[in-house]
Amino acid sequence: MTTPAKEIRTFEWSEIAAHKTRDDLWMVIDGKVYDTTKFLDEHPGGEEVMIEVGGQDASEAFEEIGHSDDARALLESLYIGDLSVAAKAGKAAAKVVDGAQATADAVKQKAGGSGFGLFPLVPLVAVVAFAVYKYLEKQQV
Ligand code: HEM
């Protein structure tokens, strides 16, 4: 018999998005979900910036500040679970679509405004999104 792995809670965006007030504030940083409610008072950067990204992905905001290792260590005590595999895949797929859009725009510009838009890239995006989903699913086991 094998010992079951420690159960990690996973959350969908719909649930995370519901926690966005001063009294109940969650955020996602690098695919991990944090309950920052109790830390709000202590945040050296103030409450407002935290509330602005409440219930959302705060990865970019967190990285842009160049938070210290101490700040990163603090995250551990606020950790409540992971973003669900589907939500992670959705985000990765959105990035691919963004990239595809940028490529399509560039191609269109080069072709003097007569591009095909995103149409030829749709199957590619679907394949990449599926691959990302499978990859993340595997990683979580
Ligand atoms: C749970 C997540 C967060 C933790 C644990 C955290 C922790 C900290 C800590 C410990 C500092 C002091 C400087 C350092 O050690 O790096 C700090 C500063 C700061 N944080 Fe955060 N932070 C978080 C999220 C955020 C977010 C999402 C933003 C922006 C949207 C933000 C904006 C700032 C700013 C602007 C400062 C600089 C304050 C100053 O130097 O005057 N923080 N944070």
Q: What is the CATH number of the domain that holds 14?
A: 3.10.120.10
Adjacent-strand bridge partners of 34: 27, 79
Q: Which domain range does residue 101 map to?
A: 85-140
Number of domains within the chain: 2
pLDDT tier for residue 101 given thresholds of 50, 70 and 90: confident
For residue 118, tell me if it sits in a domain.
yes
Altogether, the residues listed in the chain come to a count of 141
- Using the predicted structure, report yes or no on whether residue 48 has a pLDDT greater than 80: yes
The string of pLDDT tens digits covering residues 12-45 is 999 999 999 999 999 999 999 999 999 999 999 9
Select from 39, 60, 83 the last residue of a domain. Answer: 83
103 C-beta closer than 6 A to ligand 1:
no
CB 73 within 8 A of CB 117: no
The mean per-residue pLDDT over the stretch 98-114 comes to: 73
Shared domain for 91 and 45, answered yes or no, is no
Note whether 124 and 77 are same-domain residues.
no
Q: Would 69 be classed as within a structural domain?
A: yes
Q: What is the pLDDT of residue 121?
A: 74
Atom of ligand 1 nearest to the CA of 34: 1
71 lines ligand 1 (CB under 6 A): yes
Q: Are residues 105 and 136 in the same domain?
A: yes
**Residues 6 or more apart from 64 whose CB is under 8 A from it?**
none
Q: Whose CA is nearest to atom 34 of ligand 1?
A: 45
Q: Ligand 1 in contact with 65 (CB < 6 A)?
A: yes
